[in-house]
Amino acid sequence: GHAPKGDDAIRQTNDDATISRLSAANLGYFHDPFVKYFVRRPSSNERRRSPLMNWGTYLRVTGLDELVDRFLGISVADEQDPSSSNAIETAKQILVLGAGSDTRWWRLKERGKQPAQYFEIDFPEITSLKIASIKKNEQLSRSLGTIDISSGGAELHSQAFHILPGDLRTFHPSITDALVKSGFNKDIPTLILSECVLVYLDPSRGDSIISWCSENLRRAVFVTYEQILPDDVFGRMMLRNLQSRGVDLRGIKEYPDLASQVARYISLGWDESFSVNLNDFYNSSVSSSEKKRLTAIEALDELEEWRMLLQHYCFVWAWLDRSKSGFTFRSF
């Protein structure tokens, strides 16, 4: 067949992410008993990625897990009386942009760590498939409680988990209105998660999302994982590879490296911003016992290739506190 174009090609990147997650989970890199329900044709040769990719997926998943856990673990001071040192438990929410087949909600729920509210956005073509999988699988639907499905199967609401169909290029007002109608609360601490998503948008569209959040939320953390360094040999290969499949990394041109990524959030209204490429994350944050465990699963022999690959992916996070209640979110 021929490669799909434009939005179809972008939507197909979700299948890649899901199969990569399944491959690494099957081999025991991390615990995800839910991802298998979202893979449509898990033929055996598709199911197994190269060791290099499995290690990469491991870092992507566990790095984001750690950032999400940090956010959920922040004890928030009483907004009415920030000078009192009484940290109180405040409800939090998570908004996932371009969530695709992400299983994070079920993984958090399994650990009893799910936030008060959790919202996912993606194209209706993607949310419909996700909702169909949820309907089919007792393991997925059971933990949601009563579910209400609308928009021809593309929208799902339950007590704490919501899937909304929409195009991120028109985030405000169409998606923001739908969010607020579904119970999204601008006043409570909010984590916005964009995992390999902003990079597919025109930079100005991504900027609008980042600014809307900084202008409208009182206490928030924005976490991004995506590609950088498009201009060296490896970066050009990465871009060509995607382009041959009809996908362009539009966002990478204006935000091609760690410094410009950090500057993006600062210039769009966030109090502070940090970044790390996956190579530095691996060296500084993965324990030696964990490295041993990974090597026992699959040894990596192309260390130079590994290092190059990791330099082209990064975590970026930014936080803001309009309430001056002492809410902060710093490094790993």
d(C-alpha 153, C-alpha 38), whole Å: 16
x-or-dash string of contact with ligand SAM, 60-99, rule CB under 6 A: --------------------------------------xx
Helical ranges in 199-287 per DSSP H: 203-216, 233-243, 258-267, 278-285
Contact between 318 and ligand SAM (CB under 6 A)?
Answer: no
Contact between 162 and ligand SAM (CB under 6 A)?
Answer: no
Chain Cα centroid distance, residue 304: 27
Pick the piece of the chain touching ligand SAM (CB under 6 A) from 81-89, 131-139, 166-174, 287-295: 166-174
**Least distance in Å: CB of 183 to ligand SAM?**
20
Strand duo 219-227 + 190-195: pairing: parallel
First-last CA distance in the chain:
44
Q: Is residue 330 helix, strand or coil?
A: coil
Q: Is residue 150 helix, strand or coil?
A: strand
Phi-psi region of 4 (alpha: psi -120 to 50; beta: other; left: phi over 0): beta
Rule CB under 6 A: choose which of 24, 95, 156, 168 binds ligand SAM.
168
The single residue listed with the structure tokens 């079920």 is 106
Pick the piece of the chain touching ligand SAM (CB under 6 A) from 121-129, 145-153, 176-184, 270-278: 121-129
- Pick between residue 99 and residue 220 the one whose CB is nearest to ligand SAM: 99
Chain Cα centroid distance, residue 273: 17
**Least distance in Å: CB of 98 to ligand SAM?**
3
Pick the piece of the chain touching ligand SAM (CB under 6 A) from 36-44, 86-94, 196-204, 286-294: 196-204
Count of residues touching ligand SAM (by CB under 6 A): 20
Nearest alpha carbon to residue 60 among 289, 284, 277, 329: 277
Sign of CA dihedral 35, 38, 43, 45: negative
- Pick between residue 10 and residue 77 the one whose CB is nearest to ligand SAM: 10
Rule CB under 6 A: choose which of 38, 58, 71, 123 binds ligand SAM.
123
Contact between 169 and ligand SAM (CB under 6 A)?
Answer: yes
- Pick between residue 99 and residue 228 the one whose CB is nearest to ligand SAM: 99
In this structure, the number of other CB atoms found within 10 A of the CB of residue 34 comes to 23
The single residue listed with the structure tokens 């988990």 is 161
**Least distance in Å: CB of 220 to ligand SAM?**
19
Rule CB under 6 A: choose which of 160, 196, 310, 320 binds ligand SAM.
196
d(C-alpha 67, C-alpha 331), whole Å: 9
Contact between 14 and ligand SAM (CB under 6 A)?
Answer: yes
**Least distance in Å: CB of 8 to ligand SAM?**
10
Contact between 29 and ligand SAM (CB under 6 A)?
Answer: no
Query: CB of 100 within 8 A of CB of 38?
Result: no
- Pick between residue 102 and residue 155 the one whose CB is nearest to ligand SAM: 102
**Least distance in Å: CB of 169 to ligand SAM?**
5
Chain Cα centroid distance, residue 48: 22
Which residues would be at the binding site for ligand SAM (CB under 6 A)?
10-11, 13-14, 17, 98-100, 102, 122-123, 126, 167-169, 195-197, 200-201
